[in-house]
């Protein structure tokens, strides 16, 4: 029987690349996000993939996504929390709305979804992967709320891994640096830079001379979801070209 993977933020970037790779490897995939049309487009070449659109900052919506998946496939094997947002401001410049939005998307949604999924993973085991950031491992400038949310996500990952290890549920965080995604373009605009200039700078700042590709993060997700990673849980793995070395 095919395993079932739910991937949030699946309409673009890391989420879309991950959905594509898991589908190619034989998983039944559920692409989740806010924008129905963009999800439909992302799933258009993935035969029998299904989509779910809604606001995952709501615990009710997270419960509905899990129930939607169970109604179609009867199981949840892998949950990958890819959806994320960034507001590039100092603490002084960060508004209440910036702070609340960052925490809601980057921390609350993964918690609500994990809480909903875990009871359904206890029978046959499961994997939860949280896409955090290398700025969840170290500080970054103009990103007070983002760093706080991703640091919280890393420690939430570790705590859940300990709580559920004996239930054969593994929980890990993946910590990318800059990745060539639409969110990086938005971030560049927030910094007052055109995307081309920002890309040149980001590539130059990386020890490897380039930023990470979404497909490379997807490949790490696939490994961590596999039986080959059976002893890996409670980790926060950088994939950042050496930025945190």
Terminal-to-terminal C-alpha distance of the chain: 40
Contact 155, 234 (CB under 8 A): no
* Cα dist from 205 to 9, 51, 177, whole Å: 27, 37, 11
User: Which residues of the chain form CATH 3.40.50.720?
Assistant: 4-177+214-232
In whole numbers, what is the pLDDT of the chain averaged over residues? 96
> In the chain, pLDDT over 70 holds for what percent of residues?
100
Q: What is the pLDDT at residue 35?
A: 96
* Catalytic positions, written as ranges: 146
Residue-wise pLDDT tens digits, 113-164: 999 999 999 989 999 999 999 999 999 999 999 999 999 999 999 999 999 9
pLDDT of residue 198: 82
202-223 pLDDT tens trace: 899 999 999 999 999 999 999 9
Identify the residue whose tokens are 């700078």. 201
Q: In whole angstroms, what separates CA 216 from the centre of its chain?
A: 13
CA distances from 2 to 67, 151, 169, 170, 222 (A): 18, 33, 18, 19, 14
- CA dist 238 and 231 (Å) reads 18
Task: Give the per-residue pLDDT at 187.
Answer: 81
The tokens describing 225, both together, are: 């979801």
> Tokens standing for 48?
């029998």
CATH of domain 4-177+214-232: 3.40.50.720
Euclidean distance between CA atoms 66 and 77, whole angstroms: 11
The half-sphere exposure of 238 on its side-chain side, counting CA atoms within 13 A, is 15
State the pLDDT confidence band at 184, using cuts at 50, 70 and 90.
confident
- The three-class DSSP label of residue 175 is strand
What sign results for the dihedral spanned by CA atoms 96, 102, 105, 111? negative
8 A C-beta contact, residue 6 and residue 31: no
Calculate the CA dihedral of residues 56, 62, 65, 67 and round it to 10 degrees.
Answer: -170
Nearest alpha carbon to residue 232 among 240, 221, 242, 241: 221
> Quick one: pLDDT band at residue 189, thresholds 50, 70, 90?
confident
């Amino acid at each position: 029987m095919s395993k079932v993977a739910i991937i949030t933020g699946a309409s673009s970037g890391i989420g879309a690349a991950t959905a594509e790779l898991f589908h190619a490897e034989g998983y039944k995939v559920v692409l989740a996000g806010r924008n129905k049309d963009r999800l439909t487009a992302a799933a258009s070449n993935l035969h029998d993939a299904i989509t779910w659109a809604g606001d995952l900052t709501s615990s009710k919506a997270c419960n509905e996504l899990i129930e939607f998946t169970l109604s179609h496939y009867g199981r949840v094997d892998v949950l990958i929390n890819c959806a994320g947002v960034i507001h590039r401001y100092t603490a002084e410049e960060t508004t209440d709305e910036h702070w609340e939005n960052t925490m809601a998307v980057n921390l609350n949604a993964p918690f609500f979804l994990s809480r909903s999924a875990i009871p359904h993973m206890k029978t046959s085991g499961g994997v939860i992967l949280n896409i955090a950031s290398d700025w969840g491992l170290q500080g970054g400038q103009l990103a007070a709320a983002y760093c706080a949310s991703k640091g919280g996500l890393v420690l939430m990952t570790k705590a859940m891994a300990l709580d559920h290890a004996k239930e054969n549920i593994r929980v890990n965080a993946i910590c990318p640096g800059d990745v060539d995604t639409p969110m990086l373009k938005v971030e560049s605009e927030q910094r007052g830079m055109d995307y081309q200039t920002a890309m040149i700078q980001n590539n130059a700042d990386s020890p490897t001379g380039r930023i990470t590709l979404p497909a490379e993060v997807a490949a790490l997700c696939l490994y961590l979801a596999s039986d080959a990673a059976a002893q890996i849980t409670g980790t926060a793995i950088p994939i950042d070209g050496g930025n945190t070395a």
